[in-house]
Amino acid sequence: MNHCDYQKAAEHWDKIDAKSVAMPEEKLKQAIEDYIQKNNTCALATGVGDFIRCTPTEYAYHDGAFFLFSEGGKKFIGLEKNKGVSLAIFDKYEGFDHPLFGLQMSGIAEVVEPFSPAYVAEAASKKIPLEALKKLPEPIHLIKVTPIRFDFLDSDLKKEGYSSRQHLIIQH
């Protein structure tokens, strides 16, 4: 492929999305929220320069943000220098004749200070005993991801007259 071929492939959905039928924003927000709450595992992509990492991890979602506890790992190479991340949640593909669901999210990550009020509150919500965390030789890290854009896929939306691909930009 040459540059023009890559560009054409990259723009494929832009043309289709320009003609798509969008859901009302509040209805889309609720559909996205429902899908996020229905699941608890995502793939978190981080990177900087030539380094990229995609990590499957458990999440909690509340107050408009994702919270991910992590013992550490290569994802922190990207997090140190690039706060921009991507997160994906998706259902198993069952075949062409089955509904398709997935969510891609772009957002800004921050590492929450261990044992800060936000950290303590998140540990409590996950029922992680604070005393157990304090006894560990290294603290468990808490990553907070604030979404800035959602790209939602729900093939069942066609039944309601909407396009199966929906997009939501979050204003902060």
- pLDDT, one tens digit per residue, over 22-81 is 999 999 999 999 999 999 999 999 999 999 999 999 999 999 999 999 999 999 999 999
- What integer pLDDT is reported at residue 123 of this predicted model? 95
pTM recorded for the entire structure: 0.92
- pLDDT, one tens digit per residue, over 71-82 is 999 999 999 999
Question: What's the mean pLDDT in 126-145?
Answer: 92
- What integer pLDDT is reported at residue 140 of this predicted model? 94
* Local confidence band at 83 (pLDDT 50, 70, 90 cut-offs): very high
* Local confidence band at 144 (pLDDT 50, 70, 90 cut-offs): very high
Diameter over CA atoms, the chain: 57
- What integer pLDDT is reported at residue 139 of this predicted model? 87
What's the CA gap between 8 and 10, in Å, rounded?
A: 5
Joined tokens for residue 62:
């509340």
Of the two residues 25 and 172, the one the predictor is more confident about is 25
- What integer pLDDT is reported at residue 97 of this predicted model? 82
- What integer pLDDT is reported at residue 92 of this predicted model? 87
Q: Which residues of 48-68 are buried (b: 16+ CB within 10 A; e: fewer)?
A: eeeeebeeebebebeeebbbb
Joined tokens for residue 71:
């013992």
What is each CA distance from 16 to 32, 85, 102, 160, in whole angstroms?
Answer: 21, 25, 18, 18
Tell me what the pLDDT averaged over the chain comes to: 94
